[in-house]
Amino acid sequence: MAPVVLEELLEHVLVAGCLPEGPGGCLHGSDYYARTGKMMADDGLEQLKDFDAIYFGAVGWPTVPDHISLWGLRLKICQSFDQWANIRPVHFLPGITSPLRKADTTELDWVVVRENSEGEYAGLGGRNLSGRGPGGEVAVQSALFTEVGCERIIRFAFDLARTRTRRKVSSVTKSNAQQYGMVLWDDVFKRVAADYPDVETESVLVDAMSAKFVLHPEDLSVVVASNLNADILSDLGSALAGSLGLAASANLNPERRFPSMFEPVHGSAPDIAGQGLANPIGAVGSAALMLDHFGLPDHAARLNKAIETVTSTGILTRDVGGTASTEEVTKALIGALNN
Ligand code: GGG
């Protein structure tokens, strides 16, 4: 990346979890939680809101319950900043062995578009009746599907499909069992599809789509699904591409009323933290998505090219069958950028 662009970026990008702060360290994250009982400073969103983008690492640590760290930081940012479109490309890189034999001979490349603001992650519900004593508590967790929410993500998927070689959108639900919210989704999908006669469509149940990811991935281009279903499918997709450590993602507020957030799909992987084993490619690929979002597609392409150069020369971390450390792969990426 040209230094001038990096400098520009640094003016606009805040690395969540590593906010500059006075005494006491970071303003976000599990360390902050250990000190304050909160995942984020009370004015954390206020501090973030005027930046163009947030470059996020990962959240989760064994000393903090997962639902606290997720809701207190990542989901709080996504929901408060209406980052309703989560883009998760499934990209097969040269030099990385896929568990799919088909990948050796077939061009595979698709994008999972995750509805990122409602659905199963609406956060609606509660726990009650613990007063009944052990075994007596109840919990309700409701999924929320709004016509507005379904329509905007489905239109986003169709618009994205129009930019791709294969103009196709696969809509994923479980509407045979979830007869209210997901049937609404299916109805909106049919209505929106009529506005895009040049784009192929299919509606597939999530169980069948899981099988299709493995058996017929060459038939995929844009896959749009609700929050939970797309989260699960995108993990499957990145595992098929070789490793969760490779997968990049963008949490977009397409209207640009708020900053968008770019992060590797993977979580914090506490089992390998601090050992120099983590694959940096998901994070670097997310920076490429951020450059694209800034209207710098040439710089994004340079970064993606550097990733391909490094993977094809076999400088790989352990998760993709190599022996290189995080630092060695990062240095190789910087070297490829400077060549
Ligand atoms: N960089 C992504 C990340 O930190 N993910 C943590 C996680 O557990 N996410 C679950 C989810 O977003 O559904």
For residue 60 and ligand 1, the question of a CB distance below 6 A is answered with: yes
Residue 9 confidence (pLDDT): 54
Name the average pLDDT for the chain.
93
The fraction of the chain above a pLDDT of 70, given in percent, is 92
| Contact between residue 116 and residue 84 where contact means Cβ atoms under 8 Å apart | yes
Whether the pLDDT of residue 26 is over 80: the answer is no
Whether the pLDDT of residue 199 is over 70: the answer is yes
Mean pLDDT of 243-267: 97
Q: Of residues 143 and 28, which shows the higher confidence score? A: 143
Mutation test residue for ligand 1: of 70, 227, 235, the one with most atoms within 8 Å of CB: 70
Q: Which residues pair with 109 in a beta bridge?
A: 91
- Is the CATH code 3.40.718.10 the one for domain 1-88+243-298? yes
Q: What is the DSSP letter of 189?
A: H
Mutation test residue for ligand 1: of 66, 74, 86, the one with most atoms within 8 Å of CB: 74
Residue 28 confidence (pLDDT): 87
Whether the pLDDT of residue 3 is over 70: the answer is no
Write out the two tokens for 100.
Answer: 């799919």
Residue 2 confidence (pLDDT): 52
235 is catalytic: yes
- DSSP letters, 171-239, are EEE-TTT-TTHHHHHHHHHHHHHTT-TTSEEEEEEHHHHHHHHHH-GGG-SEEEE-HHHHHHHHHHHHH
pLDDT by residue (tens digit) across 200-245? 999 999 999 999 999 999 999 999 999 999 999 999 999 999 999 9
Report phi then psi at 239, rounded to 5.
Answer: -65, -40
Letter for the amino acid at 274?
Answer: G
Residue 277 confidence (pLDDT): 96
Whether the pLDDT of residue 91 is over 60: the answer is yes
Q: What's the fold here for domain 98-119+145-241? A: Rossmann fold (3.40.50)
Which helix (H) or strand (E) segment holds residue 285: the answer is: helix 281-293
Residue 11 confidence (pLDDT): 53
Kindly give the number of the ligand 1 atom that is closest to the alpha carbon of 56: 1
* Residue-range domain boundaries for the chain: 1-88+243-298, 98-119+145-241
For residue 74 and ligand 1, the question of a CB distance below 6 A is answered with: yes
Mean pLDDT of 146-156: 98
Comparing C-alpha atoms, which of 263, 336, 255, 254 is closest to residue 303?
336
Indicate the pTM of the whole model: 0.93
298 is catalytic: no
Whether the pLDDT of residue 16 is over 70: the answer is no
